[in-house]
Each structure stands twice: as structure tokens, then as C-alpha cells.
Amino acid sequence: MSTAILPGYPIPSSQVHSPTYTATPQAHEHRLAYNTRLNPNRSPREYVKQTRNGGVSLRLAGQDDQLTFPVYGYGAAVEGTLDIHKRDGITSVEVQVGELAR
């Protein structure tokens, strides 16, 4: 029985190293896109909308409290909770996300 000998790999040069990365662009860099979902410093504020009888509350995270409606960028994740306070007779819940009519 013979044993196969594998070829050796070259030893990396001490000149080769990975670049350092930072969360914010350096002077010679620019940002192509920015995803607020990945921003650890994003606003903890919520947009809250309740039904007239108070049975259901929609809470959307990461919103500016100065806005009348929640705002999301293109391709952004919608994060939040749907609180159902009066559950009698509910058999299903459907959430529809769409563009606001202007």
C-alpha cells in the first residue's frame, strides 16, 4: 500500500495582510449603500398606530418621532410587533405592507 504525497503550499509573505475595516468610511473611501438595520446606533423610537377601539397596536421600530408615517428606504427591513389585546373571535392575522397612496 502506497501513500500519496500532496504538494506543498507556498508560505505567505509577511508583506501580504488583510486590510483593516471600519464602520465609517475613511477619507479616501465613500459609502455606496447604507443599511440602517445594521447600524448599532439607530433610533430606538417606535411608530405606534392603534385601532379605534384599542384592540390592536402596531409598533414599528427605528422610526423618527417627528414623522407622521413610518419611513423605510428601498429594500429596508420592516421590524416591529403587532399587539392584539382583544383576541376573542380572531382566527387569523394578515399584515399587508405597501406604498402609501398620495
**Whole-number pLDDT of residue 90:** 81
Q: What is the phi/psi pair of residue 21, to 5°?
A: -120, 145
The answer for residues whose C-beta is within 8 angstroms of residue 49's C-beta and 6 or more apart is 57, 58
CB 6 within 8 A of CB 26: no
**Whole-number pLDDT of residue 14:** 61
**Whole-number pLDDT of residue 65:** 64
Domain ranges of the chain: 44-97
pLDDT in tens, 11-24: 666 656 666 777 78
CA distances from 16 to 10, 13, 21, 22 (A): 13, 6, 16, 19
CB 43 within 8 A of CB 67: no
What is the rounded average pLDDT for all residues in the chain?
Answer: 76
Q: What is the pTM of this model?
A: 0.48
pLDDT in tens, 37-56: 555 555 567 888 888 888 88
